[in-house]
Amino acid sequence: MDPHALTNEQQQLLRRYGMWVTLGMMVLCNAIFLGGMWLTGVKFEQLIRIPDIFNPRQDICLRFTWHHVEGDDQPVRLCSEWILLSDPSGETHTLQKETEVVKGGDGKLYFDYGTQVDYRVFIVGTFVLGIIIFGIWLKRYLIRRYRMHLQQQTSSLV
């Protein structure tokens, strides 16, 4: 008989311990993630920005402003604040400051919304990856340590 082998009862104890460690790590890692998001104040809806676009058929304009247009000498009057009729919250939507108005070769106006991804999303991804790696390492460490404890019990009985 191998002195490091576990009995059936010890294997069952190890499986049950592994299950509890897994559940505990799920709760702990989620708590670390949510706590980190709460402490840093990062809001997911701000990490990836989808620009609000005024549609004169469906929205009501509240404020017009003059904007300089690249490719044209005259400023253009555009809606800078509006209400989306399909939005039940009733919040006003605004033309983002980074938005540039460009006149195309066909004479139409086009909007360049700039960068739509906040690069903090990569930091959040790295944080999540770090939590996952830490959780896997800690789970394996705890189960390995418990297995060694059970093996020591087995070897002391022999």
pLDDT in tens, 36-47: 888 888 777 766
Task: Inform me whether the pLDDT recorded for 1 exceeds 60.
Answer: no
User: 113 exposed, middle or buried (CB, 10 Å; 0-12, 13-18, 19+)?
Assistant: middle
pLDDT attached to residue 26 = 93
Lowest mean pLDDT across 19-23, 39-43, 117-121: 117-121
Q: Are 93 and 63 in contact (CB under 8 A)?
A: no
Nearest residue to 78 (alpha-carbon basis) of 91, 88, 69:
69
**CA-only gyration radius of the chain, Å:** 29
Nearest residue to 3 (alpha-carbon basis) of 156, 115, 122:
156
Bridge partners, 94 (sequence order): 81
Domain boundaries, the chain: 8-44+119-157, 49-112
* pTM (2 d.p.): 0.58
Q: Are 147 and 6 in contact (CB under 8 A)?
A: yes
